[in-house]
A and B are shown apart, each in its own frame.
Chain A
Amino acid sequence: MRAVFVSVALLLLAVSPAVSQTSPFDMSPEKPAVPAPVQPTGVAPAQNDSAPIAAAAPQPAASLARRYIVPFTELVLSGEYSQRSWSLFLTPEQAAAKAELHLGYQNAVVIAPEASRLKISINGSELVDAPIASSENASDISVNIPANLLHAGMNDIAISALQRHRTDCTIESTYELWTQIDTAKTFLSFDGPDAGRWKRVDDLRAIGVDENGATTFNLIVPSMGQTISTSPAVRLGEALALMASMPNQSFDVSETGSSAAKPGMATIVLGPASELSNVLATVPPAAETGPVATLIDDPRLGPSILVVSGPTWQAVDMAIDDIAKQVDRPAGSLRTSLSTRTWRMPDVPLLSSASRLKFSELGMNTLEFSGRRVRTDFAVGVPSDFYANAYGEATILLDAAYSQDVLPGSHIDVYVNDNIAATVPITTSGGEILRHLPIKVTMRHFRPGDNVIALEAVLMTRADAICAPGATAQGGQRFVIFDSSELAVPDFARVARTPDLAGISGTGFPYNRSEYTLPLIMDRTQPESVSAGVTLLARMSVAAGRLIAVDSLTAATAVADRNALFISAISQVPPTVLAQVGVSNGASSTWGETVASIHPNTEATFDRWRERLRDSGWRGQIGSLQDWLTRTFNISMNSFRIFPGPAAEFTPQGSASLVVAQEASPVGSGTWTLVTAPTVGALRDGVRSLTEQGTWRQMEGHITTVDASDDKVATVPVTRFNFVETQPFSIWNYRLIVANWLSANALSYAVVLTLLSILLGFATAGLLGALGRRR
Chain B
Amino acid sequence: MRKFLSVVQWALASVCVLTLVTLPISLETQLVAGMCVLVAMMVLKLVRPDGIWRLVALAFGTAIVMRYVYWRTTSTLPPVNQLENFIPGLMVYLAEMYSVLMLALSLFVVALPLPSRPSRANSGDRMPSVDVFIPTYNEDPDLLANTMAAAKGMDYPADKFNVWLLDDGGTVQKRNSDKIGDANNAERRRAQLQKLSAEMGVNYLTRDRNEHAKAGNLNNGLSKSTGELIAVFDADHAPARDFLKETVGYFDEDPKLFLVQTPHFFLNPDPVERNLRTFEKMPSENEMFYGIIQRGLDKWNAAFFCGSAAVLRRTALAETGGFSGVSITEDCETAVELHARGWHSVYVDKPLIAGLQPATFASFIGQRSRWAQGMMQILRFRFPPLKRGLSIPQRLCYTSSTLFWLFPFPRTIFLIAPLFYLFFDLQIFTASGGEFMAYTLAYMIVNLMMQNYLYGAFRWPWVSELYEYVQTVHLLPAVISVILNPRKPTFKVTAKDESIARSRLSEIGKPFFAIFGVLLAGVAMTVYKVYTEPYKADVTLVVGGWNLLNLIIAGCALGVVSERGERAATRRVKVSRRCDFQVAGKWLQGTIENVSANGARVLVFGAELEDLVIDAKTGIRFKLFSDGTEAVLPVSIRNFERTTDSIAIGCLYLPTEAVHHRLVADLIFANSKQWEQFQLSRRGNPGLLRGTFWFLRLAIFQTYRGLVYFWRDLRGRDNIEPIGQLAEKRQ
Contacts and interface: CB of A to CB of B under 8 A. Distances in A.
Contacts of A738: 23
A180 B17 CA distance: 58
B32 A765 contact: no
Nearest to A460: B535
Contact of A633 (B28, B62, B299, B300): B28
A761 B57 contact: yes
Contact of B20 (A753, A771, A773): A753
B501 interface: no
Interface stretch (A2-10, A236-244, A434-442): A434-442
A770 B6 CA distance: 7
Interface in A727-775: 735-736, 738-739, 742-747, 749-754, 756-773, 775
B75 A761 contact: no
B294 to A, nearest CB: 13
Contacts of A425: 535-536
A752 B2 CA distance: 28
Nearest to B536: A427
Interface in B520-546: 533-536
B23 A742 contact: yes
Contacts, number: 185
Contact of A428 (B62, B298, B425): B425
Nearest to A633: B28
B26 A763 contact: no
A437 B9 contact: no
A438, A744, A761: most-surrounded residue (chain B CB, <10 A): A761
B6 A769 contact: yes
Nearest to B11: A763
A409 interface: yes
A771 B59 CA distance: 18
Contacts of A743: 25-26, 28-29
B29 A772 contact: no
Contacts of A392: 24
A766 to B, nearest CB: 4
Given A427-B533, A757-B63, A635 B79 contact: no
Q: Which of B12, B17, B53, B430 has the most CB of A within 10 A?
A: B17
B27 A634 contact: yes
Interface in A196-248: none
Nearest to A628: B434
A755 to B, nearest CB: 10
A32 interface: no
A760 B12 CA distance: 9
Interface in B493-535: 533-535
A437 B82 CA distance: 9
Contacts of A742: 23, 25, 29
Contacts of A757: 17, 37, 56, 59-60, 62-63
Interface residues of B, number: 63
Given A437-B79, A750-B32, A767-B10, A391 B25 contact: yes
Interface in A407-440: 408-409, 411, 425, 427-428, 435-438, 440
Given A754-B36, A761-B52, A772-B393, A736 B13 contact: no
Contacts of B20: 749, 752-753, 756
B3 A770 contact: yes
Nearest to B112: A768
Contacts of B13: 756, 759-760, 762-764
B46 interface: no
A439 B75 CA distance: 11
Contact of A763 (B6, B24, B437): B6
Interface residues of A, number: 56
B425 to A, nearest CB: 6
Interface string B389-426: 00001000000000000000000000000000000010
A616 interface: no
Contacts of B29: 390-391, 639, 742-743, 745-746, 749-750
A148 interface: no
A408 B300 CA distance: 57
B9 A766 contact: yes
Contact of B81 (A411, A436, A739, A752): A436
Given A747-B32, A754-B37, A757-B37, A764 B19 contact: no
Contact of B425 (A427, A440, A640): A427
A435 B24 CA distance: 26
B7 interface: yes
A756 to B, nearest CB: 5
B421 to A, nearest CB: 11
B16 A759 contact: yes
A333 interface: no
A632 interface: yes
Nearest to B19: A735
A773 B299 contact: yes
A483 B292 CA distance: 60
A431 to B, nearest CB: 14
Given A427-B536, A761-B53, A762-B52, A391 B58 contact: no
B23 A735 contact: yes
B37 A773 contact: no
Contacts of B6: 763, 766-767, 769-771
A750 B55 contact: no
B450 to A, nearest CB: 13
Nearest to B28: A633
B434 A632 contact: yes
Contacts of B2: 770
Given A758-B59, A761-B56, A763-B12, A746 B28 contact: yes
Contacts of B36: 747, 750-751, 753-754
Interface of A: 390-393, 408-409, 411, 425, 427-428, 435-438, 440, 632-635, 639-640, 735-736, 738-739, 742-747, 749-754, 756-773, 775
29 contacts: A408-B535, A425-B535, A633-B31, A634-B28, A735-B23, A736-B24, A738-B23, A742-B23, A743-B25, A746-B28, A746-B31, A750-B32, A756-B20, A757-B17, A757-B59, A760-B16, A760-B62, A761-B57, A762-B52, A765-B55, A766-B6, A768-B112, A770-B2, A770-B6, A771-B7, A772-B300, A773-B298, A773-B299, A775-B117
The 6 closest A-B CB pairs, nearest first, are A761-B56, A743-B26, A750-B36, A763-B13, A746-B32, A739-B23
Given A746-B33, A747-B36, 12 more contacts: A390-B26, A409-B535, A436-B79, A640-B32, A750-B32, A753-B20, A759-B13, A761-B55, A763-B9, A763-B13, A765-B55, A766-B10
Interface of B: 2-3, 5-7, 9-10, 12-14, 16-17, 19-21, 23-29, 31-33, 35-37, 40, 52-53, 55-60, 62-63, 75, 79, 81-82, 111-112, 114, 117, 298-301, 393, 425, 430, 432-434, 437-438, 533-536
